């Protein structure tokens, strides 16, 4: 189980975001590309999911994340190239706090710490 699953199409961005989250004390995993992200969602559990809306089939990945964990918090990342970014809360289930794709890694980690603490409880075990 991870606190955060971070998806990205850019290896450098992914590395920087993961390092910032780890410095903030979050247990995180990173995936590069749509296929790797899909596989991670199918085999793992995350309390929060960072999803760039520029990624191919991003909304399908969001749907899969919620199907696997109905309480997952999704933090979408968007920029000017994303059409309909203003209605992200309608197209991405469980979306919280949409951020710009150029958000500083430390700011992303702070947002993730906040949403995990307030909105994504630990998975209940039997």
Helix (H) or strand (E) holding 13: helix 11-23
Q: Is residue 64 part of a domain?
A: yes
Model pTM above 0.85:
yes
Q: How many domains does the chain have?
A: 1
Tell me the residue ranges of DSSP E strands in the chain.
2-8, 28-32, 46-52, 73-78, 99-100
What CATH number has the domain bearing residue 76?
Answer: 3.40.50.2300
Q: Is residue 126 part of a domain?
A: no
pLDDT digits (tens, 9 = 90+) for 9-46: 999 999 999 999 999 999 999 999 999 999 999 998 89
Q: How far is CA 82 from CA 55, 59, 98, 117, in A?
A: 10, 12, 12, 29
What tokens appear for 7 in the block? 């998806």
Asked whether residue 85 is assigned to any structural domain, the reply reads: yes
Q: What range does the domain containing 84 cover?
A: 2-119
What is the DSSP secondary structure assignment for residue 95, as one 8-state letter?
Answer: B
More confident site: 100 or 85:
100
The string of pLDDT tens digits covering residues 92-121 is: 889 988 888 889 999 999 999 999 888 755
Is residue 124 domain-resident? no
Is 54 domain-assigned? yes
In a domain, 48, yes or no: yes
């Amino acid at each position: 189980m991870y606190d955060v699953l971070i998806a990205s199409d850019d290896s450098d961005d992914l590395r920087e975001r993961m390092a910032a989250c780890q410095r903030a004390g979050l247990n995180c995993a990173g995936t590069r590309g749509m296929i790797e992200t899909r596989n991670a969602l199918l085999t793992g559990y995350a309390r929060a999911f960072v999803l760039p809306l520029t990624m191919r089939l991003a909304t399908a990945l969001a749907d899969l994340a919620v199907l696997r964990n109905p309480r997952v918090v999704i933090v979408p990342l968007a920029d000017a190239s994303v059409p309909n970014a203003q209605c992200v809360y309608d197209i991405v289930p469980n979306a919280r706090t949409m951020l710009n794709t150029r958000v500083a890694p430390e700011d992303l980690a702070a947002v993730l710490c906040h949403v995990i603490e307030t909105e994504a409880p630990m998975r209940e075990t039997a």
